[in-house]
């Protein structure tokens, strides 16, 4: 049993957020994209690289100690710095770690970001395209997978979707409601990669990739990066933007395995959310919007259940009710998410979570009266979860 | 049996050699805790149920159910050219351990969660047999 430290509540703030160009950005490395996002985040805060004494990042997994590469390119010596490797849960965890580092006196102003050049990698050669990933071949498991034709995150998440459909009667149309809702959000985001409307007919007509997932259940392959700046709430008062307070955070890691127990249908978000809510002193009924890690449609549905926005097993009905729209019960992925904006493994969810509370959008994209938001990161090829609860200052 | 086999050849880790040696003899080997009777897979050096070091390899009955499955409609590896669509499943053995495999001998649209299955060994090469599962 753990007791999260409530003394951290509202003590640290996100003071800047930014992203790089999104989509097909040839001729720029993952590092270059991340620099673009980091400089945009610092500009947003009214700070420069010279103000930064903490650097937490993630980049292409095969680059050793990626934060050292970034520090060298940015000209930053940092009292606190590391590269996180917890899959899509890393980016939200990076913000939590920044707050912990500042609280421990290890740093005072921490830059957190992630960049990836997946579109360029995947489309760089035909072999990569067939694998659907720019990952080197040796990064696939060498046994208990490839010999059975098991490839990619899509299959791992598909197991969860299939079991959820079996246990709770969830349908592909309900997964489709998520794709359609996020595409509608993307149409109001000029930076989003996907520009065309998506109907339920389009969704159901999408070619099957790994059943039960078709094309429109899958997140995008993009070149993109995002970054945020974390400092104390006290210092935030003097900076350019309206600060966004970190009310609470949590993590949960079902690393005994996706195949273990009921982990496929009951994710790390249960533990992670419980911890974050306790630290923040709020519950699901207090959340005004959610930015949920959407590698595949199903993961949105199951995380919404696990964060308590609806009951276990009722995620399908919840998303099909229109809940994810800007005027719905839980406006979700208001930038279009990884399914329709761009995919930086949760980093753009953090950026959008911050911007909603900076209140910078017009009515087509701004969640009305947003005061508290939840951001999730999910990864480790299904089992790791991190949660942030953000509040208006 | 063919040595021009085009699918991925597993590269066993040191802890999983008994599994692959068993498969060659058409035995489905899993690990069991001598203290708490827990069975598990994939291999490890400690009981995943109680943490005991007192563990052994045992032959599974090979009977189980489909816990979940997916159907590949897209080619990710050239060795599966012509085999699409194919079903990849998480099999729950009756001893409790779960493992990844293929469900074969049935059209992919007839594969269901909780469907009873049993192991059938496919001799892929002269040096490799793969445990797959067919409906009972």
Q: What is the ipTM of this complex?
A: 0.97
How many domains, chain A? Answer: 1
Burial class, A203, CB count within 10 angstroms (exposed 0-12 / middle 13-18 / buried 19+): buried
For B76, which of A151, A211, A212 is closest by C-beta distance? A151
Tens of pLDDT, residues B35-66: 999 999 999 999 999 999 999 999 999 999 99
- Are A149 and B9 inside 8 Å of each other by CB? no
Give, to the nearest 10 degrees, the angle between helix A347-358 and helix A90-103.
60
Asked if A241 contacts A41 with a C-beta cutoff of 8 angstroms, the reply is no
- Per-residue pLDDT averaged across A98-127, rounded? 90
A332 within domain boundaries: yes
For B8, which of A146, A166, A210 is closest by C-beta distance? A146
Asked if A78 contacts A69 with a C-beta cutoff of 8 angstroms, the reply is no
Query: What's the gap between Cα B69 and its chain centre?
Result: 13
Q: Is the pLDDT of residue A137 over 70?
A: no
**Chain A residue with minimum CA distance to B86:** A149
Tens of pLDDT, residues B81-103: 999 999 999 999 999 999 999 99
A18 within domain boundaries: yes
Q: What is the pLDDT of residue A125?
A: 60
- Are A143 and B12 inside 8 Å of each other by CB? yes
A137 within domain boundaries: no
Provide, as residue numbers in chain A, all residues whose Cβ is less than 8 Å from the Cβ of B78. 130
Q: What is the spatial distance between Cα B73 and Cα A115, in angstroms, rounded to a whole number?
A: 30
What are residue A18's DSSP bridge partners?
Answer: A227
Any idea which residue has 């708490």 for tokens? B36
Q: Compute the Cα dihedral for A45, A47, A52, A55 and give only its sign.
A: positive
Q: Are strands B63-72 and B116-125 parallel, antiparallel or unpaired?
A: antiparallel
A12 within domain boundaries: yes
- Are B73 and A207 inside 8 Å of each other by CB? yes
What are residue A231's DSSP bridge partners?
Answer: A13, A109
For A131, which of B48, B76, B85 is closest by C-beta distance? B76
Residues of B at the A interface (Cβ-Cβ below 8 Å)?
7-13, 16, 20, 42, 48, 67-80, 83, 85-86, 88, 90, 98-102, 108, 112-114, 124, 130, 132
B39-40, strands of its sheet edge to edge: B39-40, B29-33, B55-59
- For chain A, list the strands marked E by DSSP: 12-19, 54-58, 80-83, 109-117, 208-211, 213-214, 223-232, 244-253, 289-291, 372-379, 384-392
- Are B100 and A142 inside 8 Å of each other by CB? no
pLDDT class of A62 with cuts at 50, 70, 90: confident
Q: Angle CA(A257)–CA(A258)–CA(A263) in degrees, nearest 5?
A: 105
pLDDT class of A299 with cuts at 50, 70, 90: very high
**Sequential DSSP letters for A142-174:** SSSSGGGT--HHHHHHHHHHHHHHHHH---HHH
Q: What is the pLDDT of residue A132?
A: 47
Q: Is the pLDDT of residue A124 over 90?
A: no
The DSSP element (H or E) to which A66 belongs, if any, is: helix A66-74
**Residue A232, domain CATH:** 3.40.47.10
Q: Is A137 at the interface with chain B, CB within 8 A? A: no
Asked if A333 contacts A185 with a C-beta cutoff of 8 angstroms, the reply is yes
Asked if A73 contacts A49 with a C-beta cutoff of 8 angstroms, the reply is no
Q: What is the pLDDT of residue A139?
A: 42
Q: What is the spatial distance between Cα B50 and Cα A57, in angstroms, rounded to a whole number?
A: 36
Q: Which of B40, B64, B68 to mutate to test the interface with A (most CBs of A within 10 A)?
A: B68
A289 within domain boundaries: yes
**Chain B residue with minimum CA distance to A259:** B98
- Are A160 and B12 inside 8 Å of each other by CB? no
Structural domain harbouring A100: 6-121+220-392
A212 within domain boundaries: no
Query: What's the gap between Cα A186 and its chain centre?
Result: 16
Q: What is the pLDDT of residue A342?
A: 98
């Amino acid at each position: 049993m753990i007791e999260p430290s409530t003394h951290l509540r509202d003590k640290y703030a996100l003071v800047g957020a930014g992203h790089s160009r999104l989509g097909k950005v040839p001729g720029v490395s993952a590092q270059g994209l991340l620099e673009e996002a980091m400089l945009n985040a610092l500009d947003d805060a009214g700070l420069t690289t010279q103000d930064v004494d903490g650097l937490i990042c993630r980049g292409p997994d095969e680059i050793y100690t990626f934060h050292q590469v970034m520090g060298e390119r940015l000209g930053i010596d940092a009292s606190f710095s590391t590269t996180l490797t917890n899959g899509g849960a890393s980016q939200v965890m990076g913000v939590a770690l920044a707050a912990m580092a500042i609280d421990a006196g290890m740093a005072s102003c921490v830059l957190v970001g992630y960049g990836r050049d997946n579109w360029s990698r995947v489309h760089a050669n035909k072999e990569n395209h067939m694998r659907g990933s720019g990952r080197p071949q040796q990064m696939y498991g060498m046994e208990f997978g490839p010999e059975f034709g098991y490839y990619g995150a899509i299959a791992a998440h598909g197991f969860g979707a299939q079991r959820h459909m079996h246990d709770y009667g969830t349908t592909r149309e309900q997964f489709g409601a998520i794709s359609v809702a996020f595409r509608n959000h993307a149409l109001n985001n000029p930076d989003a990669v996907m520009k065309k409307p998506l109907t339920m007919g389009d969704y159901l007509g999408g070619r099957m990739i790994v059943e039960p997932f078709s094309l429109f259940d899958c997140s995008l392959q993009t070149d993109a990066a995002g970054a945020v700046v974390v400092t104390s709430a006290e210092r935030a008062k003097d900076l350019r933007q309206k600060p966004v307070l970190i009310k609470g955070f949590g993590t949960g890691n079902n690393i005994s395995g996706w195949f273990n127990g009921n982990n496929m249908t009951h994710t790390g978000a249960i533990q992670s959310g419980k911890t974050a809510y306790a630290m923040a002193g709020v519950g699901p009924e207090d959340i005004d919007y959610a930015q949920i890690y959407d590698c595949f449609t199903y993961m949105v549905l199951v995380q919404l259940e696990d964060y308590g926005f609806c009951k276990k097993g009722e995620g399908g009905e919840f998303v099909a009710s229109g809940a994810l729209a800007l005027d719905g019960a839980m406006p979700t992925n208001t930038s279009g998410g990884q399914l329709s904006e761009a995919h930086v493994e949760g980093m753009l969810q953090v950026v959008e979570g911050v911007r909603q509370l900076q209140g910078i959008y017009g009515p087509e994209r701004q969640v009305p009266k947003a005061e508290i938001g939840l951001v999730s990161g999910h990864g480790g090829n299904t089992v790791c979860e991190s949660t942030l609860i953000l509040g208006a200052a | 049996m063919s040595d021009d086999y085009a699918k991925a050849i597993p590269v066993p880790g040191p802890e999983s050699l008994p599994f692959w040696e068993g498969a060659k003899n058409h035995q489905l080997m899993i690990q069991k805790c001598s203290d708490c009777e827990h069975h598990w897979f994939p291999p490890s050096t400690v009981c995943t149920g109680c943490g005991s070091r007192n563990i052994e390899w045992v032959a599974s009955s090979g009977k189980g159910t489909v816990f979940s499955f997916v159907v590949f409609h897209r080619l990710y590896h050239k060795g599966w050219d012509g085999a699409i669509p194919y079903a990849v499943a998480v099999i729950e053995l009756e001893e409790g351990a779960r493992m990844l495999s293929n469900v074969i001998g049935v059209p992919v649209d007839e594969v269901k969660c909780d469907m009873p299955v049993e192991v059938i060994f496919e001799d892929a090469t002269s040096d490799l047999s793969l445990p797959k599962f067919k409906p009972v």
